[in-house]
Amino acid sequence: MIAPSLHAYVAISAALFALGFFGVLVRRNTLVIFMSLELMLVAATLALVAFSRYNGTLDGDVFVFFILTVAAAEVAVGLAIIVALFRQRRTIQVDRLDALKN
C-alpha cells in the first residue's frame, strides 16, 4: 500500500537531520542541543527504515534496534553529565562553560 517514492522519505530525513544539525550549532542551552542530537538520530533511523523497505530487506530495520539502544544509553549518560555539570558550575549554557578556553 506504499505510494510515496523513496525520495520523499529521504527528503524528510535530510530535513530532520539538517534541522538537528542547525540546532546543535546554534542553540546555547545544553538540553536543547541534546534534543537536536536526538533529532539527528531519528533522521538517520527514518532513512534506514525507508531504504530497507524499498530494497526489500529487514537489515536496516534491525539496525534501528541498535540505534534506539545506543540513543537510550547516550541520553542517560549525557543527562547525568549535564546534572553533574550543573552541580559544579550552576549553569548549563554552553557559552558560560568556558573553563578550558584559555
Site for another protein in 19-58 (CB under 8 A): 19-29, 31-32, 34-36, 38-39, 42, 45-46, 49-50, 53-56, 58
Residue 65 CA to residue 78 CA, distance in Å, equals 20
The angle that helices 30-54 and 6-26 make with each other, rounded to 10 degrees, is 170
- Residue 45 CB, shortest distance to another protein, in Å, is 8
Q: How far is the CB of 39 from another protein (least distance, A)?
A: 5
In the complex, minimum distance from the CB of residue 100 to another protein, in angstroms, rounded to a whole number: 13
* Residue 100 is a binding residue for another protein (CB under 8 A): no
Backbone phi and psi for residue 2, each to the nearest 5 degrees, phi listed first: -100, 120
The number of residues that bind another protein (CB under 8 A) is 74
In whole angstroms, what is the distance from residue 24 CA to residue 22 CA?
6
Cell 549554557 sits on residue: 93
